[in-house]
Amino acid sequence: MSRTFLGTPAFPEAARAALADPQLRRNLAHATGTIRGKRAAVVSELEETGEWEQLRLAGAAIKDQTLLHLDEHLVALEESLVAAGAVVHWARDAEEACAVVASIAHGHGFDEVVKIKSMATAEIGLNEALAAEGIAAWETDLAELIVQLGDDLPSHILVPAIHRNRAEIREIFLREMAGAGRPAPDDLTDEPARLAEAARLHLREKFLRAGMAVSGANFAVAETGTLVVVESEGNGRMCLTLPEVLVSVVGIEKVVPTWADLDAFLQLLPRSSTGERMNPYTSTWTGVTPGDGPQEVHVVLLDNGRTRALADEVGRQALRCIRCSACLNVCPVYERTGGHAYGSVYPGPIGAILTPLMRGVGEDEQVDSLPYASSLCGACYEVCPVLIDIPSVLVDQRAQVVDARRGQVSHVGEAAAMKGAAWAFGRASRLGAVERATGLAGKFLGRRRVDPGGRGVVSRLLGPGGAWSEARDLPAPPRESFRAWWRRTNGADT
């Protein structure tokens, strides 16, 4: 049924395709511009009082403390959940997690489930796994619905259909809704309110008949066993409340120690993600409540690479991430390429570190290209509500990619160049010889032109340097080196 990110080319190639799509760039610039403005307005309210920085420090400290004692908090969470009537499952990887969800559905004879938008279930490819088991998984978040109906891939953590504009969404609804249930009204316009109304009508019948829902969780409180889902539309509340069976797939880094810790995150998350003082709906539930909501509650605690990230002393801070997507919205690279180029459900700056940290480097060209998908401008770090120093982790991941690929064919050229440079810089006479040679070579070294600043540049190197110079200009070598000039003019002492 739906597409996956499998087979996405390495970032530079994927980005080139994205950059060639002017509609995509317009949609992204408009959407990220809007959300940046909204975030800035509500964050500045708390910056004026000094609360914002205090909240960020607290958010980072809570997460760090939790990660350093993750084993204890997970055991505590399990105990609280069980005491509250929930069933706890553990899953080492995507396959195990999907199998748990499918077996619960099969156990009740369900052939469909309704879903709340969840990064964890997208990461494990749950919809595809359930489809293979004969179970239809209906996405109920508006943006996820757009992606699912359009047989598309998500391109943003918060707004998976950010790459689609209203006219495209109308087209998808008119074309695809009928095949999945209640059709879109014939007179559907591209007014956002009309599109939202069409989704409301289309999904209502699914909410009312579904026996089982699948969710993620934004937070899981170890002390009490409380799960928290933060949302806007009410589709989350529908899924959490109406079906008899609820299964929540929760990454092990979502745990926070105490209920009181939520008072920092419930301020940090909505302002950072949708740019609101508070999102329309936040639901909390602690196991089973007799007479209210699902009477069978399951929680799947998911590793799937998180412990690998935890073992990385520099990178472990990425596990503080609360999936707000503020770093995507400010990233100059993301704004131009969009999310698909990152080849993962986690795009943008956070994805560029999370994916290699969770999957490991040195094995997959696409994963290894991600730490380079950044100009290291640092805008992501500035907006991060839990102070993840993304630029430092990117640099560290680059070093790990180089270490992992030492000796491999693709890096032989670079290694040889560096070795040559070391030889030349090692002695003055060698450097002089090299300088004379480059001065001469400059005349024959590919296409020369003058850049807008008036500087002579070589825009395309010939030979083994060709790939390297594809995305950057090289200053044209001078006809005479500084040291040669100094000798000739006696230090310009004339």
Partner 1 sequence: MNDARTAILERVRGALHGTERAAAPVPRDYRTNPARRPVRPDLLDLFVERVEDYRARVHRCTPAEVADTLATVLRRRRTVVPDGFAWPVPQPVPGAGLTAAELDRIPAVVTTATLGVATTGTLVLTHGEGQGPRAFSLVPDVHVCVLPADRVVLGVPEAVAALDPHRPQTWISGPSATSDIELDRVEGVHGPRELHVLVVT
**Count of residues that bind partner 1 according to CB under 8 A:** 100
Q: Is 89 in the site for partner 1 (CB under 8 A)?
A: yes
Nearer to partner 1, 203 or 379 (CB): 203
DSSP string, 3-65: --STTPPPHHHHHHHHHT-HHHHHHHHHHHHHHHHHHHHHHHHHHHTTHHHHHHHHHHHHHHH
Q: How far is the CB of 263 from partner 1 (least distance, A)?
A: 4
Task: Enumerate the β-bridge partners of residue 339.
Answer: none
CB atoms within 10 A of CB 412: 13
- What x-and-dash track marks residues 397-426 binding partner 1 by CB under 8 A? ------------------------------
The binder of partner 1 chosen from 10, 27, 155, 385 (CB under 8 A): 27
Least separation in angstroms between CB 343 and partner 1: 23
Assess 35 for contact with partner 1 (CB under 8 A): yes
Question: Is residue 74 within the footprint of partner 1 (CB under 8 A)?
Answer: yes
Q: How far is the CB of 360 from partner 1 (least distance, A)?
A: 13
CA nearest neighbour of 148 among 160, 166, 134: 160
Report helix angle 390-405 to 348-359, nearest 10: 40
Binding residues among 347-406 for partner 1 as defined by CB under 8 A: none
Nearer to partner 1, 220 or 476 (CB): 220
Using the rule CB under 8 A, which residue among 3, 30, 427, 479 binds partner 1? Answer: 30
For 325, residues 6+ apart whose C-beta sits below 8 A from its C-beta are 156, 157, 158, 159, 272, 273, 348, 350
> In whole angstroms, how close is the CB of 240 to partner 1 at the nearest point?
8
Residue 238 neighbours by CB under 8 Å, 6+ apart = 114, 140, 203, 207
Of the listed pieces 62-70, 105-113, 178-186, 330-338, which binds partner 1 according to CB under 8 A? 62-70
* Other residues' Cβ atoms within 10 Å of the Cβ of residue 67: 19
Positive or negative torsion for Cα 33, 39, 45, 50: negative
Q: List the one residue from 14, 70, 217, 333 that touches partner 1 (CB under 8 A).
A: 70
* Closest to partner 1 by CB, 55 or 102: 55
> Which residues in the 283-312 window bind partner 1 by CB under 8 A?
283-286, 289, 291-293, 301, 303, 307-308, 310-311
| C-beta of 248 vs 469, nearer to partner 1 | 248
- Residue whose CB is less far from partner 1, 39 or 398: 39
Contact region with partner 1 (CB under 8 A), list: 106-114, 257-265, 394-402, 419-427:
257-265
Pure H helices in 109-227: 119-123, 126-132, 142-149, 166-180, 192-209
466-473: list long-range contacts, CB under 8 Å, 24+ apart. 471/12
Q: Residues 144 to 173: which contact partner 1 by CB under 8 A?
A: 146, 159, 161-162, 165-166, 169
Q: Using the rule CB under 8 A, give the single segment among 187-195, 371-379, 437-445, 473-481 that binds partner 1.
A: 187-195
237 binds partner 1 (CB under 8 A): yes
Stretch near partner 1 under the rule CB under 8 A, chosen from 5-13, 193-201, 354-362, 425-433: 193-201
The closest alpha carbon to 231, from 303, 165, 159, belongs to 159
232 binds partner 1 (CB under 8 A): yes
Minimal distance in Å, beta carbon 125 to partner 1?
18
Nearest approach, Cβ of 431 to partner 1 (angstroms)?
44
Q: Which is nearer to partner 1, 80 or 366 (CB)?
A: 80
CB neighbour burial string for 427-436, b if at least 16 within 10 angstroms, e if fewer? eeeeeeebbe
User: What is the rounded distance in angstroms from the CA atom of residue 461 to the CA atom of residue 447?
Assistant: 7
Q: x/- string (CB under 8 A) for partner 1, residues 37-56? A: -x---------xxxx--xx-
Count H helices and E strands in the chain, helices first.
22, 13
CA atoms within 13 A on the CB side of 437: 7
**Whether the Cβ atoms of residue 5 and residue 345 lie closer than 8 Å to each other:** yes
d(CA 376, CA 365) in angstroms, rounded, equals 21
Q: Which two tokens stand for residue 303?
A: 């590793």
By CB under 8 A, is residue 193 in contact with partner 1?
Answer: yes
Piece of the chain touching partner 1 by CB under 8 A; list 14-22, 31-39, 397-405, 470-478: 31-39
